[in-house]
Chains A and B, each alone.
Chain A
Amino acid sequence: MNQIKPEKRLFTAFSDFYKLLTEGTNRKFNGKAELFVVGLTLGFLHNKRNRDEKPFEFIRYSHFYDSKSADHRSIIEMIYSTMAEGNDDNAKWQDVLRIADGGIEILKQHYDNSGNNIDASLLIKDAEKIIDGRVNQVSGV
């Protein structure tokens, strides 16, 4: 734990989609940070990165230092240490942002295909199909 410094900032290439899912009456999330974690999880599970420029900053990593976000931080730190590539902290953090946007791409596709909705049971079902391969990949078996 605490591999990632609290001053790290969260960026995305999908600011519109972030707004769509977190603002207005049809919002599906109350917070962008929480959406970021879902994106990162999906990116991790699907081993997907998005390498587009990420000009939109929305929050600092310190948000996850709140005790209520301990579980989320545990997931982020796990992905940071397991999947993120880079020679230093900054490079690794940039990779985390790429993985998160990779997951947001998957979520966006799901949102469009589900009639502008987020169906959690469908997302998990899709993820379950690739878990075996992903476990092998991560563990290097």
Chain B
Amino acid sequence: MIIQKIELENYGPYFGKIALDLSVTPQENVILFKGLNDTGKTSLYKALKFCMYGESSSLQYQKHVNRTRRTQSDGRTSVTLIFQHNNENYQITRSIEFKKTPLDETLDIRRSDFTVIRNGTPESIQTIEDEHRFIEYILPEEASQFFLFDGEEIQGYTQNPPHPNIKSAIEMLLGIKELLNAVDDLEKIKNIQEERVRNELSKVDEYKEEKQILDDLAANLQTRNAELVDLGNQIKLLSEQKSQYENKLRKYDEIKDTIENKLRAEKDLDKTEQDISNTLESLRNFNDNELSIWLMLPFLKKFKDRIPATVDLQVKKLAEDILDKKTCICGRTLDDESHEKLKELTVSSPTSRFQDIQNCAGDLLDQYGLNQNKEHYLKLISSLNEFKERKNSLNALISDLSSQLGTKSVTLDNEYANLQNDYQICSNNLLQRRIAFADKKQLIEDDQRSYDSRVRILSNKKISKEFERENKRLLLIKVILKSINEFIDEIVASRKSEIQNIASVFLRGITNAPEVYTGIELDDEYRLHLKIKDQSTIPAWERGPSAGQSQVIAHSFIAALNKFTAKEAPVIIDTPLARLDDIHAEKIVKSYPAMGKQVIVLYQPRELDDRLIASIKSHIRAEYDIKRDLVDPENSIIARRVK
């Protein structure tokens, strides 16, 4: 399906008729729609889904009708898609005819219609089943989630175990669904043929009893097969339940981890506070015992260096000599002031004064090294600062963890115990069903073996030509069935492997962490598993990647599916870059041209700037701007930008 044109008539915020050319070429396959929030981007995306899949109830139709138009007069809302599919041209239209209705009343819908024109000729779509059959052929609604998607929502593929319908949707995309349906049909034909073979037996008297035995075995097989299907469904349901419990338990485990982290942080905080207290005590001891010494040491050292211990004695002796002679050594007679000063030197005993300083210096300088003291003090201060910083960060961590926990920790134990209990019950039930399933399967295989062996014995007998003919047909059906099953296994293995390869290449090209996420793998249920650098794989939903990383992983998976799908369809992305950072955004935008034959992107101005758009310029076929209508702000208008 490659869309060439979409025509809207009174749809959503678009008043009157609008036709948009969406045709692309192999080189220019990207179409951009730019619009602010609430201008009508998503309405375009919804218009397409509305045209393809309609609504489940007529009440739902009114949300598609233009609000201005419905209040003016009776009218019509329609969406027409003109597209090519499998080399044929289609025009499909879904329309609603309505009566004029005020906005505060439920819309009065008179008629809704779905028409198909194939290669210029109207197709007969009489019933809802016809419509479904046609849409299934073009793009089944289940599968549309991989083509028409919201960039923000696709990360759900990686964050939780995906919904079971994903498997079915993927099988559809890969063309396996049709083969599986064929197998179902052939199984039914085989059962009918077996009945025919048995009926031929009843026509021969001596085999009537054998026919009865085979009928009983067949009835048994039918009942047991039905029971097996029932058990299978129960197992599927219980597996889903178990998986949900596991998810919830995992969340509880995360809470438990948070509680443990908080307790650890609180313990660290206690220790850090003790460290702070010890360091403060050490600093106090330092202030008590060493601070005065440390303050005094530089003075003492300098004094000792400058005034040798012997100088004061010499000074005293010299002063006494001068006083005795009353004449200075230069020959000058002493004046009164000089006489007093010299006398003071001899009387105030400078010898003892300096000697006390020298003694003190001797005591302290021998014991303490200046730098040693300084280093000790600085080490204490630096430790104190480190402890204080640690205390602050621990307090912040505890506060953060506390707000994460809220009141959860209070009720955790009880809730966790109940959940564990429910999980255990579910696990036990699942185990019992699996055992019952295996037993039943064994019984069926025994019955089948017994049935086949009886039929084989009968085949070697000449019962009747009719019996021989019907039996040959039965054998043929069995051979075909076996071959198809083998073919499906092969095709699944090969397609899965190719999808994994393409998705992995895509992922490595657009992820910011190629050193962590090296690839994508799919399990039997087509659930995503991440390949980590060390080659181990883990379920993507267990890894719990960031929102941006989830989007990147889901994007890679979808890109690979679209590249490989048996269903060709446009890729239409609403809110494409939602939570992505600049680097991821750039890589994803550059990957758009490779995502499909036709890629339509509905974006907000802040999501794609001119630089990003320029990076895929050569692939852009058309750019449209969606804006509010200035005349009637209830409505929007779309204008194509001139290239």
A interface list, Cβ under 8 A from B: 1, 27-31, 34-35, 37-38, 40-42, 44-45, 70-72, 74-75, 77-78, 81-82, 118, 120-121, 123-124, 127-128, 131-132, 134-135, 138-141
Binds A, one of B161-169, B354-362, B520-528, B600-608: B354-362
> By the criterion CB–CB under 8 Å, are B360 and A77 in contact?
yes
Query: Which of B302, B306, B360, B364 lies at the interface centre, i.e. has the most chain A CB atoms within 10 A of its CB?
Result: B360
> By the criterion CB–CB under 8 Å, are A37 and B357 in contact?
no
Residues of A within 8 A of B326 (CB): none
> By the criterion CB–CB under 8 Å, are A45 and B296 in contact?
yes
> By the criterion CB–CB under 8 Å, are A81 and B356 in contact?
yes
> By the criterion CB–CB under 8 Å, are A75 and B299 in contact?
no
Q: A29-B288, A124-B298, A135-B299 are in contact. Are A75 and B293 (CB under 8 A)?
A: yes
Question: Which residue of the partner chain, among A1, A30, A141, contacts B284 with CB atoms under 8 Å?
Answer: A30
Tell whether B294 is near chain A: CB-to-CB under 8 Å.
Answer: yes
Residues of A within 8 A of B294 (CB): 120, 124
Which size bracket describes the interface of B in this complex? 20 to 34
Question: Which residue of the partner chain, among B283, B285, B357, B363, contacts A82 with CB atoms under 8 Å?
Answer: B357
Query: Which of B298, B299, B302, B377 lies at the interface centre, i.e. has the most chain A CB atoms within 10 A of its CB?
Result: B299
Shortest Cβ distance from A34 into B: residue: B288
Cβ of B381 to closest chain A Cβ, rounded Å: 8
Interchain CA distance A23-B515 in the complex, whole Å: 58
Interchain CA distance A133-B533 in the complex, whole Å: 70
> By the criterion CB–CB under 8 Å, are A138 and B293 in contact?
no
> By the criterion CB–CB under 8 Å, are B295 and A81 in contact?
no
Question: Which residue of the partner chain, among B283, B295, B364, contacts A45 with CB atoms under 8 Å?
Answer: B295
Cβ of A83 to closest chain B Cβ, rounded Å: 9
Q: A75-B293, A78-B356, A139-B307 are in contact. Are A45 and B299 (CB under 8 A)?
A: yes
Interchain CA distance A127-B352 in the complex, whole Å: 25
Cβ of A36 to closest chain B Cβ, rounded Å: 9
Query: Which of B293, B367, B374 lies at the interface centre, i.e. has the most chain A CB atoms within 10 A of its CB?
Result: B293
Tell whether B289 is near chain A: CB-to-CB under 8 Å.
Answer: yes
Known: A75-B364, A82-B353. 8 other contacts (CB 8 A): A38-B287, A71-B293, A72-B292, A75-B293, A120-B294, A123-B295, A135-B299, A139-B306
> By the criterion CB–CB under 8 Å, are A127 and B298 in contact?
yes
> By the criterion CB–CB under 8 Å, are B287 and A28 in contact?
yes
Interchain CA distance A4-B357 in the complex, whole Å: 16
Chain B positions 263-298 with a Cβ under 8 Å from a chain A Cβ: 283-289, 291-296, 298
Residues of B within 8 A of A29 (CB): 284, 287-288
Residues of A within 8 A of B359 (CB): 1, 74, 78
Q: A30-B288, A74-B363 are in contact. Are A41 and B306 (CB under 8 A)?
A: no
> By the criterion CB–CB under 8 Å, are A75 and B292 in contact?
yes
Tell whether B45 is near chain A: CB-to-CB under 8 Å.
Answer: no
Shortest Cβ distance from B307 into A: residue: A139
Query: Which of A30, A134, A135 lies at the interface centre, i.e. has the most chain B CB atoms within 10 A of its CB?
Result: A135
For the complex of A and B, list the 7 residue pairs with the smallest distance between their C-beta atoms, beginning with the closest: A34-B288, A78-B360, A37-B292, A81-B356, A41-B292, A38-B292, A41-B295
Question: Which residue of the partner chain, among B287, B364, B381, contacts A74 with CB atoms under 8 Å?
Answer: B364
> By the criterion CB–CB under 8 Å, are B360 and A34 in contact?
no
Residues of B within 8 A of A40 (CB): 292
Interchain CA distance A64-B560 in the complex, whole Å: 87
Cβ of A124 to closest chain B Cβ, rounded Å: 6
Tell whether B189 is near chain A: CB-to-CB under 8 Å.
Answer: no
Residues of A within 8 A of B356 (CB): 77-78, 81-82
Residues of B within 8 A of A131 (CB): 298-299, 302
Interchain CA distance A44-B299 in the complex, whole Å: 10
Q: List 30 A-B contacts (CB under 8 A).
A: A28-B283, A29-B284, A29-B287, A34-B289, A37-B292, A38-B291, A38-B292, A38-B295, A41-B296, A45-B299, A71-B367, A72-B293, A75-B296, A75-B360, A75-B364, A78-B356, A81-B352, A82-B357, A121-B378, A121-B381, A124-B294, A127-B295, A127-B298, A131-B298, A131-B299, A132-B302, A135-B307, A139-B354, A140-B350, A141-B306
> By the criterion CB–CB under 8 Å, are A74 and B295 in contact?
no
Residues of A within 8 A of B292 (CB): 34, 37-38, 40-41, 72, 75
Residues of A within 8 A of B302 (CB): 131-132, 135
Cβ of A4 to closest chain B Cβ, rounded Å: 12
Question: Which residue of the partner chain, among A31, A45, A75, A127, contacts B288 with CB atoms under 8 Å?
Answer: A31
Cβ of A118 to closest chain B Cβ, rounded Å: 6
Interchain CA distance A123-B306 in the complex, whole Å: 23
Interchain CA distance A127-B14 in the complex, whole Å: 83
> By the criterion CB–CB under 8 Å, are B364 and A71 in contact?
yes
Residues of B within 8 A of A38 (CB): 287, 291-292, 295
> By the criterion CB–CB under 8 Å, are B287 and A42 in contact?
no
Interchain CA distance A75-B302 in the complex, whole Å: 16
Question: Which residue of the partner chain, among B284, B293, B353, B364, contacts A28 with CB atoms under 8 Å?
Answer: B284
Interchain CA distance A28-B280 in the complex, whole Å: 8
Tell whether B50 is near chain A: CB-to-CB under 8 Å.
Answer: no
Query: Which of A31, A35, A75, A78 lies at the interface centre, i.e. has the most chain B CB atoms within 10 A of its CB?
Result: A78
Cβ of A65 to closest chain B Cβ, rounded Å: 16
> By the criterion CB–CB under 8 Å, are A134 and B288 in contact?
no
Question: Which residue of the partner chain, among B283, B352, B357, B381, contacts A138 with CB atoms under 8 Å?
Answer: B357
Query: Which of B294, B295, B367, B378 lies at the interface centre, i.e. has the most chain A CB atoms within 10 A of its CB?
Result: B295
> By the criterion CB–CB under 8 Å, are A81 and B291 in contact?
no
Tell whether B303 is near chain A: CB-to-CB under 8 Å.
Answer: yes
Residues of A within 8 A of B374 (CB): 121, 124
Residues of B within 8 A of A121 (CB): 374, 377-378, 381
